[in-house]
Structure 1
């Protein structure tokens, strides 16, 4: 907060006296008011913000200005203690002794939103989803402190520019990738929708916001790389187990959690006489049914009855698993950054799409909540497949077939 005293010579009265005004500046907003004090403008010292001693009433006026500045400082401190979010108008009201209405702040509204959703854990949402909302709230708090030097700002002051500034902060200060920024903004938008639904906000600042599109390249193992990985003699039990788990997921598309939780009751015989995996995806709570292809069945047979706690595969923690995969990639001369999620991508592309399995079936086997998700991730693979088939057709036509 800054306090400035100034005189307005244009308002000099018939007695030759000019009013002294006080201007408060807080968070780039100003509030100017009359102090009720008048002086001869010839005796005003602008730099020192005081009346020169030779003026008749200099002592009284200077003391009054000092008192006003002191009272403004006290009002500012009181507001900081009483509430996180306030503006220059609240500051002036506090100085005048008027009651300031405590309005809901952005972080306060976000906390209310998160409290509401916390009660839905295990019913409609998962603990991990709730924690992501909490993480976004932490980023918002840090942003408000960085941008406004406050613990919170009034919810009804939110404008579209706030969103743009938050996005800029995440990109420059937090060095986030656009996909991560979009996820945080998506969660913030849900809180804003909640605030609008609760009548805390009259207008949604996200109405004009359009997230920046992110085109992510699908990274997967080629058929040659996959076969080489399967057949590679590892010579290390720990790495061999990780390799086997990874290959199993390349032929089933199981995410890490599902792979780790796989038990015998998840294996059922389907109408076709094959063994199928039937379980729920932890991420979406959506049921999946995946046929166990010969390579995957062979790996299940390899570890049958050899593991504790009813496990079907020798899984590790995710961090260790991915660390071991890097060693395996080196042994197999695989150039891509090998992580468990690459197995799921390989299943969708090399095993399914590039073997002419329709997108609708791929979406079902992956357990996606809607086909649009599958198309967004793997649409480019189909384009490559179409190009490949057209090239073959062109070659045939060139040969007169």
Structure 2
């Protein structure tokens, strides 16, 4: 086979350019077709059958001619091996081979979860919710390293999902509610990929559900709260105790008491007291909380000139980890030794142990304490729901750990004519929200 490139000068166009033609000789047969390239006669070297240096991008153009010659040679070898007859159509196809359609790259679940998180950030999801996606991503990467394979969107089916859950439950010994978080995040991701990105899935997103298990809420009784209030503490711990008590009296989360400022406090029009009006950090729900005498006294304790401005923080709140660490020491000094059963599910096994209350107290214990003590005092659940900022009353009813006591109390009040606080584990109103806290 012999290949030549010829400039067809007789086909010159108005711009003075002539087409470059390829001529191929096959064992006595001759085929010719256009290369699609053009140039002026002055830019073509007939002896070397290539473009001169005067031609714009001559080096690239000559490389293209070499590539065409190589493609034709491969084509000819294939035709000869198959015993076929070379044709002009085959020659043209060899000169301009059709682009091989590359398969779409596999979408990786971890990478799509990262992109989904950024989309949700743009749609206004809060930091705490976005943080869950990071945790789930880390668990998925751990599974990939353990299984020796990557999770792909197109390959994620129920068998893969079961293998993931089995790994997280047995190898990582995650709690049922941690598994619930993984299922929830994956359900949202795959629903988004199917409904908003048009991806074809092997699994129905709603089938990636993992059951949620309610955990017991740790809270303080009235007597325990009083012992905490009057405990003699070092000066370094007293502010932490005061912030904790304030949350017990108002039901605020740590994230809300951390950012509490003067603009959140308003006096009632009738002069009967003050209220906190704020937007909750976690849910962005607006709530209004009446400041009882005990809560107001704690604010007054820290109402110095440095906190007089509208934007100044009202209470000395440390980082959450520091607060929780100090609270363990405070609870120890207050003698909160009541045994509390802790039930965990690890590796598919239920584990029970008794722990001292002082080991379990955290800043969120204050919110649980407010909810349970409010119910024990007869506060309607609907009112508590508004104060806590729960969108669904079922969330408020999670605090039904004390509802058995509440039911007994209600029956005594209705059937035996006893007062709501006559026999309630010491839950007297004067012990909680109507007493002036002693100086620390």
State the TM-score, normalizing by the size of structure 1: 0.67
**CA pair 99-260 structure 1, distance change in 2 beyond 3 A:** closer
Q: Is the 8 A contact 2:187 2:209 kept in 1?
A: no
Matches within 5 A, 1:69-84: none
Per the alignment, residue 371 of structure 1 pairs with: 393
Per the alignment, residue 372 of structure 2 pairs with: 349
Task: After superposition, give the CA deviation of every residue in 1:338-365 in whole Å (9 maximum; x if it has no partner).
Answer: 1111111111111x11111111111111
Matches within 5 A, 1:52-131: 100-120=103-123, 124-131=124-131
By how many angstroms is 1:305 displaced? 1.0
Structure 1 counterpart SS, 2:162: helix
By how many angstroms is 1:115 displaced? 3.1
**CA pair 126-317 structure 1, distance change in 2 beyond 3 A:** same
Structure 1 counterpart SS, 2:379: coil
Structure 2 counterpart SS, 1:246: helix
Distance of 2:162 and 2:371 partners within structure 1: 36
Q: Give the structure with higher Rg (CA).
A: 2
Structure 1 counterpart SS, 2:318: coil
Q: Mean Cα displacement is larger for which, 153-162 or 178-187? A: 153-162
Unaligned runs of 5+ in 1: 1-96
Per the alignment, residue 248 of structure 1 pairs with: 246
Distance of 1:294 and 1:242 partners within structure 2: 19
Q: Is the 8 A contact 1:321 1:340 kept in 2?
A: yes
Distance of 1:111 and 1:201 partners within structure 2: 19
By how many angstroms is 1:371 displaced? 1.5
Per the alignment, residue 42 of structure 2 pairs with: none
By how many angstroms is 1:302 displaced? 1.2
Asked which structure has the greater RCO (Cα within 8 Å, sep 6+), the reply is 2
By how many angstroms is 1:390 displaced? 3.4
Q: Is the 8 A contact 1:307 1:314 kept in 2?
A: no
Matches within 5 A, 1:2-401: 100-120=103-123, 124-147=124-147, 149-150=148-149, 152-197=150-195, 198-202=197-201, 204-234=203-233, 236-271=234-269, 273-305=272-304, 307=306, 310-335=312-337, 336=357, 337-350=360-373, 352-375=374-397, 377-390=398-411
Distance of 1:125 and 1:136 partners within structure 2: 16
Q: Is the 8 A contact 1:280 1:286 kept in 2?
A: yes
Q: Is the 8 A contact 1:158 1:205 kept in 2?
A: no
Q: Indicate the structure with greater helix content.
A: 1
Distance of 2:112 and 2:260 partners within structure 1: 40
How many pairs are equivalent? 293
Distance of 1:243 and 1:292 partners within structure 2: 18
**CA pair 209-391 structure 1, distance change in 2 beyond 3 A:** farther
Distance of 1:349 and 1:209 partners within structure 2: 34
Q: Is the 8 A contact 2:243 2:315 kept in 1?
A: yes
Q: Is the 8 A contact 2:219 2:368 kept in 1?
A: yes
By how many angstroms is 1:207 displaced? 3.3
Per the alignment, residue 28 of structure 2 pairs with: none
- Runs of 4+ off more than 6 Å: 392-397
Structure 2 counterpart SS, 1:290: strand
